[in-house]
Amino acid sequence: MNILLLGYGKMGKIIGEIAESRGHFLAGKINLENISELEKINPADVDVVIEFSQPESALGNITWAIERGIPVVSGTTGWLEHLPEVSKLTQEKNGAFFYASNYSIGVNIFFKVNEFLAKLMNETSGYQVAIEEIHHTQKKDAPSGTAITLAEGIIQNLDVKTQWNLTGQMADSEQSVPITSKRIDPAPGTHIITYSSDIDTIEISHTAHSRMGFALGAVLVAEWIKNKKGVLSMNDFLSF
């Protein structure tokens, strides 16, 4: 399979290494320094785009691929206000667009545990829920896309919560899920969900030990997406 990497930072390089180790060919490795090379790429030579760039580049990268009929697997966070227009373009072009805030299989299991715990907490009272996420200092967006997905999972399953807020930017309220974002090197990613009461504390967490799990998941999805159509997610890939 011919894979075009749009975004060739630390994650892109690991994705490229894993893809080649699995017998795939890299049709290109595009980042901000060589973005002009993108127009020289022949779409017919690309089976799938894996897009792990920056928030300011994601929309342009994804649009470029979808307009040329190339399936896109994206893991860039911090641009999701544009997701409705990408979804619309994907439908118009009868294309394939896959987005996940996190491609780690373990994290996606954690998402389901988080949702189940939130449902259970509807049966009790006196607990306050909060999210803490810790990433390396090069991560530009806050909160992380994974933290937002976790917050959305709580909001969808815990009746008293209707929104999330980033601590320090918006005032906490009874209806909000507060998210604290920390940037500490060399942390690849930790997410902690805490339910606290006067009596006790319930806590679940996920800690990534490296970027390998994220990168492998993205390559596995790229292998899977061939001949698929529509706007897809990890729920489709994992059949949760």
Same domain for 123 and 48? no
Q: Cα(180)–Cα(182) distance, rounded to whole angstroms? A: 7
Same domain for 216 and 99? yes
pLDDT of residue 142: 86
140 is catalytic: no
Identity (one letter) of the amino acid at 81? Answer: E
Q: Cα(22)–Cα(72) distance, rounded to whole angstroms? A: 19
pLDDT of residue 25: 97
**Is the CA virtual torsion 114, 118, 119, 124 positive or negative?**
positive
Same domain for 82 and 159? no
How would you classify the pairing of strands 128-135 and 176-183? Answer: parallel
Same domain for 54 and 96? yes
Residue 101 or residue 221, greater confidence: 221
Q: Is the pLDDT of residue 170 over 90?
A: no
pLDDT of residue 183: 93
> Of 120-134, 163-177, 220-234, which gets the smallest average pLDDT?
163-177
> Of 38-42, 56-60, 164-168, which gets the smallest average pLDDT?
164-168
Same domain for 199 and 154? yes
Q: Percent of the chain beyond pLDDT 70? A: 98
pLDDT of residue 158: 97
Q: Is the pLDDT of residue 6 over 90?
A: yes
Same domain for 71 and 143? no
Same domain for 79 and 149? no
> Catalytic one among 10, 119, 139, 228?
139
Same domain for 36 and 86? yes
Range of the domain at 10: 2-103+212-238
Q: How does residue 240 score in pLDDT terms, banded at 50, 70 and 90? A: low
Residues 41-95 pLDDT 10s:
999 999 999 999 999 999 999 999 999 999 999 999 889 999 999 999 999 999 9
Q: Is the pLDDT of residue 137 over 90?
A: no
> Catalytic one among 135, 161, 191, 206?
135
Same domain for 133 and 52? no
Same domain for 109 and 203? yes
Q: Tokens 């509807």 map to which residue?
A: 122
Query: Mean pLDDT of all residues in the chain?
Result: 93
Same domain for 95 and 112? no
Residues 172-200 pLDDT 10s:
678 999 999 999 988 878 999 999 999 99
pLDDT of residue 171: 62
Number of H helices, E strands in the chain: 7, 11
Question: Burial of 10 by CB count in 10 Å (0-12 exposed, 13-18 middle, 19+ buried)?
Answer: middle
Q: State the CATH number of the domain containing residue 19.
A: 3.40.50.720
Same domain for 98 and 10? yes
Q: State the CATH number of the domain containing residue 203.
A: 3.30.360.10
135 is catalytic: yes
The domain total for the chain is: 2
